[in-house]
Amino acid sequence: NAGVTQTPKFQVLKTGQSMTLQCAQDMNHEYMSWYRQDPGMGLRLIHYSVGAGITDQGEVPNGYNVSRSTTEDFPLRLLSAAPSQTSVYFCASSYSGTISYNSPLHFGNGTRLTVT
Amino acid sequence: KNEVEQSPQNLTAQEGEFITINCSYSVGISALHWLQQHPGGGIVSLFMLSSGKKKHGRLIATINIQEKHSSLHITASHPRDSAVYICAVRAEGGSQGNLIFGKGTKLSVKP
């Protein structure tokens, strides 16, 4: 199993450009999420999904879009990149997102994004 | 106020030492996760627990629900244990998406 695959690993954008960060998992996980990690701060949730066709906002959703058309894929779109979006982005998945069920998180290797 | 506090922020140890990293939280939880982030950046889930104690190799995680506190212990530490250790809690009634993360403890084990 590949687990959670994130691409690209590194990306440099100019202000105003758009791009999509890809995330795919092959574990048939219901729950998928995107986090950003900034120096001196804990991981912060951007968007998440508890199943195909269902997405919801996290703590810091502004400037980002997501969709979940399949169980496997959960891309994150930056609509118009800003320097404040310079960060390391992680995709994570787990078996179930339901309230009554806890399951371990599986993370991708991260995408280091710089916006100039 | 941070809902998840980790201590210490930074920790340097000599190879072979017993290490303890602490996590305190202020909300009722349904689960607590310990994660390890390698120097290369990848994040791995070490433990998920809601009560008692779990052990995996040289790593032990404990949780005291009444005191809202968890500890991660590393026995016979090794330089390859050098990483950032992150505590995260899932609030009671919250979705899997509502994990609250600590800022991490950076551990450096010297040979």
**Closest CB from B42, B44, B95 relative to A110:** B42
Shortest CA distance from A108: residue in chain B: B42
pLDDT for A1 equals: 63
Q: How far apart are the first and last CA of chain A?
A: 36
* Tens of pLDDT, residues A84-95: 999 999 999 988
Q: What's the pLDDT tens digit per position in A47-83? A: 999 899 999 999 899 999 999 999 999 999 999 999 9
Q: Distance from B87 to chain A by nearest Cα, in Å?
A: 9
Residue B74 C-alpha, separation from nearest chain A C-alpha, in angstroms? 20
From CA A14, how far away is CA B55, in angstroms rounded? 47
Predicted confidence band of residue B40 (pLDDT cuts 50, 70, 90): confident
- The predicted structure's pLDDT at residue A97: 58
What value does the mean pLDDT take over residues A41-52?
A: 91
Burial of A82 (0-12, 13-18, 19+ CB in 10 A): middle
**To 10 degrees, the CA torsion angle through B5, B7, B10, B12?**
-160
Disruptive mutation site among A23, A43, A50 for chain B (greatest number of B CBs within 10 Å): A43
Q: Which of B30, B43, B94 sits opposite A90 (nearest CB)?
A: B43
Q: Which residues of B touch A112 (CB under 8 A)?
A: 41
Q: What is the pLDDT of residues B67-104, one digit of tens each?
A: 999 999 999 999 999 999 999 998 887 665 668 899 99
Mean pLDDT across chain B, nearest whole number? 92
pLDDT higher than threshold 80 for residue B62: yes
pLDDT over 60 (residue B66): yes
Check residue A101 and give its pLDDT. Answer: 61
Copy the structure tokens of residue A90: 């992680």
Contacts of A80 (CB under 8 A, 6+ apart): A16, A17, A18, A63
Q: Residue B6: which of B89, B80, B95 has the closest Cα?
A: B89
Pairing type for strands B52-56 and B99-101 reads: unpaired
Residues in chain B within 8 Å Cβ distance of A41: 103
Confidence at B41, pLDDT banded by 50, 70, 90: confident
Question: Which pLDDT band holds residue B11 (cuts at 50, 70, 90)?
Answer: very high
The mean pLDDT value of chain A amounts to 92
Confirm if A68 and A49 have CB atoms less than 8 A apart: yes
Residue A48: per-residue pLDDT: 92
